[in-house]
Amino acid sequence: MIKFCINKYDKFRVYTYFCSMATLEKVILGIDPGTNILGYGVIKLRGNKAKMEAMGVIDLRKCKDVYLKLGRIHERVLGIIEAFKPDEMAIEAPFFGKNVQSMLKLGRAQGVAIAAAISRDVPIHEYAPLKIKQAITGNGQASKEQVASMLQRMLHIPDESMLPFYDATDALGAAYCHFLQSGRPETTDKLPHSWAAFVKQNASRVH
């Protein structure tokens, strides 16, 4: 039988290594692209726990020039990247609908946001809306309201921090979806595994 001898120094190094792994921090930026309202959400990971750092929207409805809008998206996304220093960015892929013009505009907004991340060497991950909804609620056809409610529950977001724009929670969902791809989160209480389970546990909060 082979025995391994570890001296005090090695034990300290091993202990330090596992402690650093347990407290490893990562920031993920989520983006929900749009040319009228672009949503963003930031989550911080500490070990395998996630916490919302920020979420908001870039409101471009008053800007009528399409190219000026794209310039502002690039500028504002860069500002968000500079402020939160994300390690990775998760972005929602354009939804393929019948309106070609809308798809083109959405694709441009997505491309500009991606370009901003590339310019700061931030790795990019793209997720289809169905994939995000499935990851968050267990239902790929879930509504935006259902996604928002599940995220509020999972990330323990107080009511006063929730925004009237689902663009923000959609972006937060993209970030959280990416987090889930690398492993299941550790929670302090048992979370519902689907929208139906969430409704059962929180009947008074869902109308």
Model pLDDT for residues 128-175, shown as the tens digit of each residue: 999 999 999 999 999 999 999 999 999 999 999 999 999 999 999 999
Please indicate, yes or no, if residue 9 is contained in any of the structural domains: no
Residues 39-98: pLDDT tens digits? 999 999 998 899 999 999 999 999 999 999 999 999 999 999 999 999 999 999 977 666
User: Known catalytic residue: 88?
Assistant: no
118, 86 contact by CB (below 8 A): no
In a domain, residue 1? The reply is: no
Per the domain annotation, does 20 fall within a domain?
A: no
Overall residue count recorded for the chain in this entry: 207
pTM of the model: 0.77
Q: Catalytic residue at 32?
A: yes
Question: Could you tell me the CATH number of the domain that includes residue 149?
Answer: 3.30.420.10
The answer to whether the Cα torsion of 38, 41, 42, 47 is positive or negative is negative
Count: domains in the chain: 1
Given a cut of 90, is residue 101 above it in pLDDT? Answer: no
Catalytic residue (choose from 10, 25, 32, 87): 32
pLDDT score recorded for residue 183: 62
Identified catalytic residue from 53, 126, 167, 189? 167
Catalytically annotated residue among 65, 92, 145, 189: 92
| Residue 39 to residue 33: CA distance in whole angstroms | 7
Query: Encoding tokens for residue 178?
Result: 């990416």
Query: What is the extent of the structural domain holding 125?
Result: 25-205
> Among 116, 118, 143, which residue's Cα sits nearest to residue 129?
143
The letter for the amino acid at 47 is: G
- Give domain status of residue 31, yes or no: yes
- By CB atoms closer than 10 A (0-12, 13-18, 19+), residue 200 is exposed
Q: Which comes out higher in pLDDT, residue 7 or 187?
A: 7
Residue 4 lies in a domain: no
**Residue 59 falls in the annotated catalytic set:** no
In a domain, 11, yes or no: no
Give the span between the Cα atoms of 170 and 51, in whole angstroms. 16
The pLDDT, as a whole number, for residue 182 is: 77
Give pLDDT, residue 23.
57
- 8 assigned to some structural domain: no
Domain assignment present for residue 13? The answer is: no
